[in-house]
Amino acid sequence: MSLKKIAKQGLGLYKDLRRINIESLSSEENIKPLKIVGFVKYFNEGTNGNLERCLKHLSVFCDDLALCDDGSTDNSTEIAKKYTKNIIQLDTDFQREISHKQKLLEFTLSLDPDWIVWLDADETFDRIGELGGIRNLCNYGDKNNIDSFSFLYYNLWNGNAHYRVDELWHKLWKPKLWKNTGKLKFDIQDGLHLRQHPLGLKNDRRTNIKTLHYGFSSTEKIITKYETYKKHGQI
């Protein structure tokens, strides 16, 4: 085994040992008022039910939402308007997704959030995260000089009852909760699935709250994602 691989495994073990168990946080963490803003960029996620589920979920624990419509042609924006007026609309251009996320970030920061919680339209957190867990993490982060929290992806597969655990499917951690450090900015490059979180986050901690990904939860969604990635040279 190479030294690089050993070092990477060691870093992962270290991060896991420092993982925050949300059940161990005191209920007093909810005392301090914080402004949490949900951050979602979407394209044609209305008719498949993803956007409604995501925004309804975020509205439980967020004080406001900031959304970016990437030129949807379905009923996505009609659904979005039920949850917020904070919607920017851009032309469809998947190769410039990071540039679009930077514009959404600037818009989000104009709402003066303490914390920003990022979900894709086909994602939610688990019930623990929804019912106080995310807000508890924000307060814990403020008190302990933590500026982001990462969550393990659970890729639901061909339904909502099973998720993938083979190969790399159950090893992906993403920082979904960002403190407004005053230094947040995306590393803008063209392409799909590049760095999806902003620069300016230095102290990240893992948590046992789950990210549930519905993007592969039906045969139709699996085929759609495959065709999208293939079209843009990702396969």
Q: Which residue has the tokens 């993938």?
A: 164
In this structure, the chain runs to a length of 235
The rounded distance, in Å, linking the Cα atoms of 46 and 38 is 18
For the chain, report the end-to-end CA distance as a whole number of angstroms. 28
Count of alpha carbons within 13 Å of 153, Cβ hemisphere only?
23
Q: Per residue of the chain (235 residues), give pLDDT as tens.
A: 554 444 444 445 556 667 898 888 866 545 668 999 999 999 999 999 999 999 999 999 999 999 999 999 999 999 999 999 999 999 988 778 899 999 999 999 999 999 999 999 999 999 999 999 999 999 999 999 999 999 999 988 887 888 888 887 788 899 999 999 999 999 988 877 778 899 999 999 999 999 999 988 767 776 776 676 666 565 5
Residue 28 has a pLDDT of: 53
Report d(CA 114, CA 160) in Å as an integer.
33
Predicted model pTM: 0.86
The encoded tokens of residue 135 equal: 């807000």
pLDDT score recorded for residue 170: 80
Q: What pLDDT, on the 0 to 100 scale, is given for residue 10?
A: 47
